[in-house]
A and B are shown apart, each in its own frame.
Chain A
Amino acid sequence: MAEDTSRAWLWWTASGVVVFFAAISNDFWLTLGILGSAEIVAYTLIKISGESNASARSKSARSGHEPTLAELTEGTPRVRANASPVPIKRPQNFSGTTSTPPLPQSAFTERLGAQAAKAVGTAIAASHAASIEEFYSIQKSQSAPSSSYKLPPAPKEVRDKCWVSPGESVDVAGITLTGGMIYVGTRMTAPNGRPDPCLINTLLPVASAGDYRVPQMGYWPSYSEISPNERRAYLNWLAGGRSDTDCEIGYVFLFFYGLERRIILDSRDDQAAKRDWPAIIDELRRLLTIYGETSGSFRHYAGGLLSWIELDGASGRLYEKPVPHLPKTYELPPYLRLALGQAAADRAPVPAPLALAWVRLSPDTYFRTPAKRCPNEFERLFAQRYEETFGAGLALRETRTKLKFSYRAASAGLLGSTITLGFGDIPDVTALTAPIKKLREIAAQCTDELESYSRLLGRDPSLAGSFESVLLLPPAIWPGEAKVELHDVVSRLREGCITLTLQELISKLGVVKQPLSRDRVRNLARMLEPMRIGMEPNVLGGAKAPSEADTVVLFALLDSGEDASLGPEYQTVALTLQLGAALAQADGDFSAREIEHLQAKIDDWAQLTAAERRRLHAHLQWLVANPPTLSALKRKLEPLDRAAREAVAAFMVTLAQSDGYVSPEEVKFLEKLYKALEIEPKRVFSDIQAAGTGGSTPAAITHPAARGFQLDADRIAALQKDTARVSALLSEIFVEEAPVPEPSPPAEPEPSDVPISPLGLDESHSALVRLLLSRQQWTRAELEDAAADLGLMADGALELINEAAFDALDAPLCEGNDPIDVNTELLEKIAA
């Protein structure tokens, strides 16, 4: 088989040479002739080694059938002799199988149109193959003056021809590979002298099918050593945009080797190669995002390469520059170490982003979920706390350990090479443990602070940026205006409750308008609680959640936090308040006096705790804004027992009275309430009456038993005083006769001829008085006659006389209608 191959190869080379000879000028032929002879020598050498390599697997291949999957996977494991210690071990499968491949139709060959060129190229590569074992160190003078690195010299020959620049496409085995950044050719040697593992050798056979999802390659795969199926798989992966997440990591590494080579080897002294760096960096980052998560190994190597790139291109003070994105690896990225080292050397404070990167990328730091789930918030918070702790930044002391960076290559082609960068006197901060410990503490603290926020987002990622999430954030990293507003709210709460609509509240939190579900309002309340802000309605206590346009009342909770549970008394009292609000609103006006009364009541309820009282005050304020209706409250009244109902009724009646006037609307409400309470509605009037007169309160009526039969001595005393006062008042009106007023009339000796009447009456009336006094009793008829005789009307005369008698003596002269009694007692007085 090998002979067949070589014969075919010879034939192709010969014909290629012939064609080439025909096409190219004479000058060239001369040179080529020499080279050609060298090629033959090289070919013989390669052929011998190739045969010895292939002999082990030639048998199965020679059987002439396509390998089965089983065959492909059950090959004998083979550990490379020169494997250096690696951080992780992967099962290393190697199954050396080959089949008769169709000859590769590379774009390269087609482009040249001549196989001769191929042969020449290979020969050139071979001639240098022996001279690449040498290592040397160079001073990296241009970019970072203090750094130097040691590298094996890269083979200088045809690599540029193999390298497919970023963005270019190339066809290999009928597959179009877009994007470039691969080495495609027939020959390219690695520093270890073997064909570079990354080279896509167009001469090697490619199977028609291959699955890159199947793990089968060895730990250090090499394109030239993998099976045609695997080659096919690799090419497929490349063609697929190098982005299939299911891809076996070995293929990714295969590609990575190329990038590595480009960076480490090619760029060493080739400025053209450096032009590809930006594209390569992008590509590395892209790959990291795809494969970095699943493969720690890849993350490590890619991170290392990126660091190399950064370090190689680094200049100036790195700690002053923004920290580039660095993947987390098994060690602190050298870039960071350099930056930190520089800071230490300059005795400059470490800026917060750098500090964060230090913690984040420290291999022994483990960030819990919050820090990962909400990186931005974490970053802001970290910066804040960092600043609080260290002011301008952490100051690092210089260490004796100096920074040195050695690159551990992934590619087998670079194995054994020590690739290091030195940085002169820059200290290595990883030798310090105290600073990182401190930073870790800050990070842990920040993580704790973000915990609830993170959990929220974990439950529902769509809540990011909502007011709930904002509220859960530590206030230090609130969005600017929310911070100001809430600060304002908190300070205003110290003075009293705040009434505002829910919408206003939300907008204060600096959150864009979002639909408010019940749960979210509840969340809002729950989140205000740790800030010692309580909200009414008490949605956490089961109250109906308000809608956006509804009013809520914020109030300061007590610091003790004892308000978590509200006792049954609270519920009763709250219900009473609600009823009270409904009642106060019944007359269309929630008057200030009614509010005052309710407030006073809240303070009176002895069984309440201070926290409950506080909440009730807020509740009241809320009720003022949203007075409930009785029908809405009816259901709540049901569980009350008789005594509680009576108490509620009594309270309501007093409240109705509190503005000094019980309006019909209030009466109506009370009647309804009594009905709802199953108390005789007719009692409303008596109770209002009782409350209105300030006499016995309805409560006293309903619970007279509590008082027992006891006279209240104080009350009696007060009453007696009151009675004394009224007696004095009345005695002025109903003057008793005892202190005889005795106007001491001019004590005229009453000569009958003197026409002066005893009572100051006129002549005829005086005559009637005298006449009346002459008898104890008169009949009506007699009196009328007497009056008529005197030219008087009986009734009118009596009226007049008695009036006069009252005025003078405080008693009528005569009483009764028929007969008429004459008060002869007055005789003496009149006579006197």
Chain B
Amino acid sequence: MNTLIRQKDRDPIIQSLRAGVVPNRGQHLIQVGRAREIEAMVTDIDRVADGGASFRFVIGEYGAGKTFFLNLVRAIAMERKLVVAKADLNPDRRLHASGGQARSLYAELMRNLATRTKPEGGALPGVVEKFIASAKAESKQQGVATEQIIRFRLEQLTELVNGYDFADVIATYCRGADEGNEQLKSSAVRWLRGEFSTRTDARAALGVRTIVDDASIYDQLKLMARFVRLAGYAGLFVCLDELVNIYKLASSQARNSNYEQILRMLNDSLQGTAVGLGFVLGGTPEFLMDTRRGVYSYSALQSRLAENTFATTELADYSGPVLRLSSLTLEDFYLLLRKIRHVYAGGDPERYLLPDTAITNFMEHCSNRIGDSFFRTPRTTITSFINLLAVLEQNPGAEWQALIGGLDVTRDDGGKGDLVTEPDDELAAFKL
């Protein structure tokens, strides 16, 4: 805690927070509490790194810090040499669809594929090339053609769905690299990213018969998980956020097929059939528990969740597939602000711009302005706090007491959007 924080670690955090978004990196610097939850996730990650599988729902309310938590988990996974794919679901990106929305989700995941060395995403070519490079090194050693090595190594993938074509595409990439054929390379990457929308195009570009389509994205992820392991990574960790979008789907059939997809993931992870693949899904309590539209409406999935629950003496259960994040409390928020102050000061207590009492005053001010539960949806208040710090930094003589009084804080109502759902389309206009 007493170590200084580098400017390049500090700035992204401050900038993200000021913009009201979750920082992409450095989350650990402002993490408050949640030791057990994080421990649970670290266990998951380690299991994946050992070639196992994991599956978690991270359930929290708006403002509880799901995204922050997922980002932290993602960062941890990368630190543990996992390849991480993260995507938010939205109406155009789903786990299951027939109109390309699922493929779109896959493409997003692949675009955001990140490794420790490329934490901001776009690591797919690097991963592929790393694999090829090691194949090349081997080929050099053994005096065998690189493609042969690649084929040999990828042989175990061919048993999986699309596995044969996957090997083909990797080989094609290798060929493209060897030949300096950028077109070929990018086609291969496009295929891997699921960006081909028709088989004809893929065949024309790469000579493969299949593409990553809506139906095969999960299989493709499994394939990818094995592949990254072959490429020398510990495994693939997939973070999906905003699952409330499934809950918001109007068609119960669409919802159910999405839940079915989740069920597959859960089953594979519980049965250990997936290798080196971890999932963490972030959603709101409604998404999980709504008995008409949420996970609980899909009884097969619901019962799996129930079966894996063990009554523990504590109220919160960290071993089941559902990890609940509590909303922030006043005290959580207080510590968070202190951490932000610490980060803002670059980790140097000498440079703190505010005393502890000012933090309390600030919170009281927020409480007066936007109500008692301001700390439960901290996005806007954190922004205000950083603004305050910025003003103090730029005007060294300013009195914080005066500034706090004039600070403008707005209520964060973003959570309301989560609850807005269209009515079910079935029977909505049914009339006799």
Q: Which residues of A contact B (CB under 8 A)?
A: 593, 657-665, 667-668, 671, 682, 684-686, 688-696, 701, 704-705, 709, 711-712, 715-716, 719-720, 722-727, 729-731, 733-734, 736, 738, 762, 788, 791-800, 802-803, 806, 812, 817
Contact = CB atoms under 8 A, between A and B. Distances in A.
5 contacts: A685-B285, A685-B286, A696-B329, A704-B372, A793-B132
B39 A664 contact: no
Contacts of B383: none
Contacts of B126: 795-796, 798-799
Interface of B: 1, 3-4, 28, 31-35, 38-39, 42, 59-61, 64, 72, 75-76, 79-81, 115-118, 122-123, 125-133, 136-137, 177, 180, 232, 284-286, 288-291, 296-297, 299, 302, 305-306, 309-312, 314-317, 320, 324-327, 329-332, 334-335, 360, 363-364, 367, 372-373, 419
B415 to A, nearest CB: 9
B31 A723 contact: yes
Contact of A701 (B81, B133, B364, B373): B373
Contact of A719 (B32, B117, B299, B324): B32
Contact of A730 (B31, B130, B297, B299): B31
Nearest to B8: A815
Contacts of A667: 289-291, 296
A130 to B, nearest CB: 114
A738 B329 contact: no
Contact of B327 (A661, A690, A724): A690
Contacts of A798: 117, 126
Nearest to A727: B1
Contacts of A799: 115, 117-118, 123, 126-127, 129-130
Contacts of B4: 738
Nearest to B26: A734
A715 B325 CA distance: 17
Contacts of B180: 788
Given A664-B297, A693-B325, A726-B33, A797 B129 contact: yes
B285 A689 contact: yes
Contact of A796 (B129, B290, B325, B334): B129
A727 B28 contact: yes
A733 B76 contact: yes
Which among A685, A791, A806 has the highest number of chain B CB atoms within 10 Å?
A685
Nearest to B372: A704
A659 B373 CA distance: 28
A91 B379 CA distance: 111
A690 B324 CA distance: 9
B335 A661 contact: no
Nearest to A665: B291
A275 B423 CA distance: 105
A690 B31 CA distance: 20
A659 B311 contact: yes
Contacts of A705: 372
A738 B320 CA distance: 37
Given A661-B309, A799-B117, A799-B118, A725 B35 contact: yes
Contacts of A668: 291
Given A661-B309, A733-B76, A723 B125 contact: no
A688 B136 CA distance: 55
Contact of B130 (A593, A686, A796): A796
Contacts of A657: 315
Given A661-B311, A685-B285, A817-B122, A671 B79 contact: no
Nearest to A802: B117
Given A692-B316, A723-B33, A733 B331 contact: no
Contact of A736 (B3, B285, B291): B3
A52 to B, nearest CB: 116
Given A593-B311, A682-B286, A738 B3 contact: yes
A692 B177 CA distance: 53
A624 to B, nearest CB: 18
Contact of B129 (A691, A692, A727, A795): A795
A31 B31 CA distance: 148
A806 B3 CA distance: 20
A711 B117 contact: no
A709 B130 contact: no
B129 A794 contact: yes
Which among A705, A726, A794 has the highest number of chain B CB atoms within 10 Å?
A726
Nearest to A797: B133
B193 to A, nearest CB: 14
Contacts of A733: 28, 42, 76, 79-80
Contact of A729 (B38, B117, B324): B38
Contacts of B28: 727, 730-731, 733-734
Contacts of A684: 289
Contacts of A719: 32-33, 331-332, 335
A716 B334 contact: yes
B132 A727 contact: no
A707 to B, nearest CB: 8
Given A719-B32, A722-B35, A660 B286 contact: no
A726 to B, nearest CB: 4
Given A660-B312, A796-B126, A762 B137 contact: yes
B42 A806 contact: no
Contacts of A817: 122
Contact of A723 (B32, B305, B310, B367): B32
Contact of A690 (B288, B326, B372): B326
A723 B311 contact: no
B310 A660 contact: yes
A682 B415 CA distance: 12
Given A693-B316, A793-B129, A709 B33 contact: no
B127 A695 contact: no
A105 B112 CA distance: 139
Nearest to B307: A661
A690 B330 CA distance: 14
